[in-house]
């Protein structure tokens, strides 16, 4: 079943020997035994060769289908369709098709290797998954599917779920990680705002006498405002530059928890974050600026 996290603990591996060369290739891959209509139902295109047929069963020559990554790893630039692949247990199988790459365990995986075998050629008993594509809402078909399968074998344990539910479970780690990182980011933004407010307020208190002298010598409120805002901008600019450098280095390992469509290194993300920090800095500067503009020169000159 696709997007099944338990497959991550059951990925076979070993040395394969393609007949296209004398070398052996050691790989770890996703293995799946599927029926003839699997690729059609899941809408996974067969790029070369063919899908499995009803004739691919026990007693017939063993066949396999590789995904693009697996084919490239084993055969390089050679078209593998029609070639023989020797498995680690010394059994041979003919490559009959190349399937497009897709997701197998998680949505964030990249360059995953996969090998498909016909379910009808497996000589061991195992649980099976059935995929049903419907024009109606999937939720309305759950009960009908349960009743149909129960009618085939009343003792069978049947569990029917929609792909929407499976996708939601697959996205759960990403959502949980996003919630945790988002909470930490908001907490950090709050601390940064409080810190900036405190630093500016302390700086203005230390410069009360200086501000009073400037006002007494003719400094306008605009001059005082420019002085306070300039000091705030210097602090914010230094913090933003340092933060963006650290974020650019830290975002790559964190991207493994995200779905492929989310691009954490997108420059627009960094621009948006810088704008948010600038807005927060502007709000944190309001109170210290208002206090600086209310400084009375007579009181400031007596300030110790």
Separation of first and last alpha carbons in the chain: 75
**Widest pairwise Cα distance in the chain:** 104
Rg (CA), the chain: 32
Count the alpha carbons within 13 Å of 170 in the hemisphere toward its beta carbon: 21
Q: How far is it, in rounded angstroms, from Cα 126 to Cα 119?
A: 10
Report whether pLDDT(260) > 90. no
The interaxial angle of helices 208-216 and 163-206, nearest 10 deg, is 60
Q: What is the mean pLDDT of residues 159-184?
A: 74
Task: Please give the pLDDT value at position 72.
Answer: 92
Q: What is the pLDDT of residues 38-62, one digit of tens each?
A: 999 888 999 999 999 999 998 899 9
Residue given tokens 């601390």 in the structure block: 191
104-163 pLDDT tens trace: 776 667 788 999 999 888 876 566 777 888 887 777 777 788 888 778 777 777 777 777
Cα-based angle 57, 64, 165 (whole degrees, multiple of 5): 90
Neighbours of 92 (CB within 10 A): 13
- What are the helix and strand counts (H, E) for the chain? 8, 8
The residue whose two tokens read 């055969």 is: 75
Dihedral of alpha carbons 62, 51, 110, 160, sign: negative
261: DSSP letter: T
> Looking up tokens 């759960």, which residue turns up?
172
> How many whole angstroms separate alpha carbon 51 and alpha carbon 53?
7
- The winner for highest mean pLDDT among 95-104, 168-177, 183-192 is 95-104
Long-range contacts formed by 190-196: CB under 8 A, 24+ apart: 192/239, 192/277, 192/280, 193/280, 193/281, 193/283, 193/284, 194/284, 196/232, 196/235, 196/236, 196/280, 196/281, 196/284, 196/285
More confident residue, 250 or 260: 250
Please identify which residue in the block is written with the tokens 């948010």: 276
Return the DSSP state at 246. Answer: H
Distance CA 112, CA 66 (A): 11
Condensed to tens digits (0 to 9), the pLDDT of residues 71-108 reads: 999 998 889 999 999 888 888 999 999 999 988 776 66
In whole angstroms, what is the distance from residue 96 CA to residue 150 CA? 35
Indicate the pLDDT class of residue 189, thresholds 50, 70 and 90.
Answer: confident
- Which residue has better confidence, 33 or 282? 33
Q: What is the pLDDT of residue 254?
A: 62
Q: How many residues does the chain have?
A: 304
Q: Per-residue pLDDT for 264 more than 80? A: no
pTM here is 0.59
- Supply the DSSP string of 167-219, one letter for each residue: HHHHHHHHHHHHHHHHHHHHHHHHHHHHHHHHHHHHHHHHTHHHHHHHHHTT-
């Amino acid at each position: 079943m696709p997007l099944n996290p338990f497959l991550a603990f059951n990925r076979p591996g070993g040395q394969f020997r393609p007949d296209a060369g004398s070398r052996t290739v050691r790989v770890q891959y996703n293995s799946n035994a599927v029926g003839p209509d699997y690729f059609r139902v899941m809408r996974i295109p067969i790029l070369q060769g063919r899908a499995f047929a009803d004739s691919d069963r026990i007693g017939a020559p063993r066949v396999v289908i590789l995904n693009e990554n697996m084919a490239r790893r084993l055969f390089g630039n050679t078209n593998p369709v029609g070639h023989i692949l020797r498995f680690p247990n010394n059994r041979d199988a003919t490559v009959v098709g190349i399937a497009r790459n897709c997701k197998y365990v998680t949505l964030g995986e990249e360059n995953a290797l996969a090998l498909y075998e016909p379910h009808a050629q497996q000589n061991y008993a195992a649980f099976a998954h059935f995929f049903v594509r419907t024009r109606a809402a999937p939720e309305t078909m759950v009960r009908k599917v349960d009743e149909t399968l129960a009618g085939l074998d009343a003792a069978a344990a049947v569990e029917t779920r929609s792909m929407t539910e499976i996708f939601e479970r697959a996205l759960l780690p990403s959502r949980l990680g996003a919630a945790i990182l988002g909470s930490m980011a908001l907490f950090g933004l709050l601390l940064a705002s409080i810190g900036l407010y405190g630093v500016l307020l302390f700086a203005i208190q230390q410069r009360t006498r200086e501000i009073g002298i400037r006002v007494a010598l003719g400094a306008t409120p605009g001059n005082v405002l420019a002085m306070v805002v300039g000091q705030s901008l210097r602090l914010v600019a230094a913090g933003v530059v340092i933060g963006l450098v650290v974020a650019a280095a830290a975002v790559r390992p964190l991207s493994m928890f995200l779905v492929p469509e989310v691009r954490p290194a997108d420059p627009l993300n960094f621009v948006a974050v810088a704008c948010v920090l600038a807005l927060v800095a502007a709000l944190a500067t309001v109170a210290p600026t208002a206090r600086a503009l209310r400084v009375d020169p007579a009181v400031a000159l007596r300030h110790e």
